[in-house]
Amino acid sequence: MNFAMPAPADKITTKISTKGQVILPKAIRTRRHWGAGTTLVVEDTPDGVLLKPAPLFKPTRIEDVFGMLKYRGKPKTIAEMDAAIVAEVKRRHARGRY
């Protein structure tokens, strides 16, 4: 996503409350699609404080999940997997899900 940042003359300011809270201006929250309840990561950098959205899921290593979904039986072909996906989409569409 490209976000147009304000020019230096248009810098937006905010204040820290007595509780240590900072209000992010609505224009920035809207531009970033940060609604109420958005979890942000706060990083202290040499240039200042950086806010960015927290990842939705914690990092996962392949060795933590490899082999979790055991399957017994003959391996499926790509064509069989594609056909199963199409059938499920049609089934959901028929139920009004898509």
Q: Are 83 and 89 in contact (CB under 8 A)?
A: no
Q: Over the stretch 14-57, which tens digit does the pLDDT of each residue have?
A: 899 999 999 999 999 999 999 999 999 999 999 999 999 999 88
Give CA separation, 63 vs 25, 57, 59, 66, 73, in Å: 42, 17, 12, 5, 23
**How many distinct structural domains can be found in the chain?**
2
The answer to whether residues 14 and 22 touch, using CB atoms and an 8 Å cutoff, is yes
pLDDT of residue 60: 86
Cβ atoms of 53 and 59 within 8 Å: the answer is: no
Rounded to 5°, angle at Cα 87 from 70 and 69? 10
Is there a domain that residue 43 lies in? Answer: yes
The answer to whether residues 19 and 45 belong to one domain is: yes
CB 18 within 8 Å of CB 7: no
Domain interval for residue 20? 8-53
